[in-house]
């Protein structure tokens, strides 16, 4: 606890991953790249399966040990642009179309109607809030995520959205978790991280002293608990899973 905060100001917090935990984008990144090309020329034949293997490296979260200087949204997307352009060109898209599609990608990726809030996500957030927890999203994302959270109708139960772009570090880097704890004024002993990635979310959170719960709402066949059940158990017992 820092010297400027009284115990009453610190709260039990549920830190949430976003993509794959609370919501999912149709086609994810490869689908967004296809959508951007179709906005430029709807007659171009391009499929997400062509792009997916070309997007396995180069995103900021592929190098979580690297801490970067936080600048602007435009600078964040500019750093990603070579990855996008290389994928387009490797898939046979012309330079002209690739450039135009890359320009459209930020708005295309964060188009609210391309996203779906996962079942029980809103109910789980509301249950956590009623149980005395502050809901805070901590996600490896571009700077536009807070606006998407608002547009998806989640801003009432979610008090704060923290992106890796705003911190300059990607999960599981301890820096983003420590910064999130500070920004949320989280009481570490009573706070949890909930996410679908065992490394970025679970191991990363546990490395800084948070408890963590693995959920896989996009894979209902998984043996992990659902979102609402997870929150109910945390609220009821606050014990380690």
pTM (global) more than 0.85: yes
Paired strand residues for 162: 138
Cβ-proximal residues to 90 (8 Å cutoff; 6+ apart), any chain: 54
Question: Residue 9: its pLDDT value, please?
Answer: 77
Using pLDDT thresholds of 50, 70 and 90, give the confidence band for residue 63. Answer: very high
Is residue 24 scored above 90 in pLDDT?
A: yes
DSSP per-residue string spanning 98-167: HHHHHHHHHHHHT-GGGEEEPTTHHHHHHHHHHTTPEEEEEES--TTHHHHHHHTT-TTTEEEEEEHHHH
Contact by Cβ (8 Å): 198, 215:
no
**What CATH number matches the domain at 7-22+118-237, 3.40.50.2300, 3.40.50.1000, 1.20.120.1690, 3.40.50.800?**
3.40.50.1000
Q: Cα(149)–Cα(132) distance, rounded to whole angstroms?
A: 21
pLDDT, tens digit, 9 for 90 and up, residues 111-136: 999 999 999 999 999 999 999 999 99
pLDDT in tens, 66-90: 999 888 999 999 999 999 999 999 9
> Quick one: pLDDT at residue 59?
96
pLDDT score at 219: 73
pLDDT in tens, 146-167: 999 999 999 999 999 999 999 9
Centroid of chain to Cα 5 = 28
Distance (Å, whole) CA 129 – CA 26: 28
- Closest by CA to 199, choosing from 188, 207, 191, is 207
Residue 241 pLDDT: 39
Residue pointed to by tokens 């910064």: 179
Look at strands 23-25 and 115-117 and give their pairing.
Answer: antiparallel
Q: Convert the pLDDT of each residue in 204-229 to its tens digit.
A: 999 999 999 999 877 765 556 789 99
Residue 216 has a pLDDT of 86
């Amino acid at each position: 606890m820092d010297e400027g905060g009284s115990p009453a100001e610190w709260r039990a917090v549920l830190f949430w991953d976003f993509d794959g935990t609370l919501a999912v984008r149709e086609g994810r990144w490869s689908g967004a790249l296809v959508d951007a090309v179709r906005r430029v020329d709807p007659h171009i034949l391009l499929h997400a399966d062509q792009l997916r293997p070309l997007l396995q490296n180069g995103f900021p979260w592929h190098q979580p040990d690297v801490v970067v200087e936080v600048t602007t949204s435009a600078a964040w997307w500019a750093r990603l642009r070579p990855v996008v352009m290389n994928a387009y060109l490797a898939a046979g898209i012309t330079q002209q179309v690739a450039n135009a599609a890359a320009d459209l990608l930020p708005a295309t990726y964060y188009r609210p109607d391309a996203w779906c809030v996962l079942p029980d996500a809103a109910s789980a957030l509301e249950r956590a809030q009623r149980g005395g927890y502050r809901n805070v999203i901590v996600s490896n994302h571009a700077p536009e995520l807070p606006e998407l959270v608002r547009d998806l109708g989640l801003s009432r139960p979610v008090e704060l959205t923290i992106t890796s772009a705003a911190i300059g570090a990607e999960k599981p880097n301890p820096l983003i978790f420590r910064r999130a704890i500070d920004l949320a004024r989280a009481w570490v002993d009573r706070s949890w991280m909930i996410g679908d990635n065992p490394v970025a979310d679970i191991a990363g959170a546990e490395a800084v002293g948070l408890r963590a719960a693995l959920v896989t709402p996009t894979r209902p066949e998984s043996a992990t608990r659902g979102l609402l059940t997870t929150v109910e158990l945390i609220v009821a017992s606050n014990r380690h899973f």
